[in-house]
């Protein structure tokens, strides 16, 4: 499932850079598109603001098919405090912008599966595909508002995975 997870992340990252090139994050001294995978970063006490954070949850498999299909649930979490120039009063507007960006990043609901461990990366034989997002209600914590969306990501296992 790791190749599918990596391919899903890279597809969203590439799409975000095209949708909103200004949504970036500084990580380990490098400016990157504003999306990260929680399990691939150093632990933090508070999620970063104005960034999409992918958190992988449960895993399942359907073994009754000709090829094994695996599925893993991904939670995309994002939050904002608004901007300083508006005293944070624009936080609802900014969260709505992030909602729209996430919906746009997820379309189309498929991407080629790529093995990113090899250099250069190798495109595999199958696709990674996913369901429509299920959004949670907004959570308010003092000056910060947060939302998440859950997406189930599917992939067929290939030889050697």
In which band, very low, low, confident or very high, does the pLDDT at 8 lie, cut at 50, 70 and 90? very high
Query: What is the mean predicted confidence (pLDDT) over 80-84?
Result: 84
pLDDT of residue 50: 96
Give the phi and the psi of residue 5 in degrees, each rounded to 5: -60, -45
Q: What is the pLDDT of residues 101-119, one digit of tens each?
A: 999 999 999 999 999 999 9
Every domain of the chain and the residues it spans: 2-156
Q: Which fold has domain 2-156?
A: STM4215-like (3.30.2000)
Bridging pattern class, strands 122-130 and 35-37: unpaired
Residue with tokens 């990501």: 153
Q: What is the pLDDT of residues 33-44, one digit of tens each?
A: 999 999 988 888
Sign of the four-CA dihedral 23, 27, 31, 37: negative
pLDDT of residue 73: 97
Give the separation between CA 148 and CA 161, rounded to whole angstroms.
Answer: 30
Query: What is the mean predicted confidence (pLDDT) over 122-137?
Result: 97
CB atoms within 10 A of CB 17: 16
Residue 39 burial class via C-beta count within 10 angstroms: exposed 0-12, middle 13-18, buried 19 and up: exposed
Q: Would you say residue 84 has pLDDT above 80?
A: no
Give the separation between CA 42 and CA 58, rounded to whole angstroms.
Answer: 21
Q: What is the pLDDT of residues 40-75, one digit of tens each?
A: 888 888 889 999 999 999 888 887 777 889 999 999
């Amino acid at each position: 499932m790791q190749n599918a997870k990596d391919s899903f992340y890279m597809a969203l990252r590439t799409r975000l850079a095209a949708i909103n090139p200004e949504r970036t994050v500084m990580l380990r001294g490098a400016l990157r598109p504003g999306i990260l995978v929680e399990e691939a970063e150093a632990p933090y006490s508070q999620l970063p603001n104005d960034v999409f954070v992918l958190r992988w949850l449960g895993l399942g498999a359907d073994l009754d098919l000709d090829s094994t299909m695996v599925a893993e649930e991904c939670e995309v979490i994002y939050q904002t405090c608004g901007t300083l120039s508006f005293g944070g009063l624009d936080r609802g507007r900014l969260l709505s912008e992030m909602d729209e960006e996430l919906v746009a990043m997820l379309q189309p609901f498929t991407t080629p599966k790529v093995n990113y461990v090899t250099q250069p990366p190798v495109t595999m034989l199958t696709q990674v595909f996913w369901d429509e997002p299920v959004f949670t209600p907004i959570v308010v914590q003092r000056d910060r508002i947060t939302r998440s969306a859950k997406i189930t990501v599917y992939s067929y296992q290939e030889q050697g995975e």
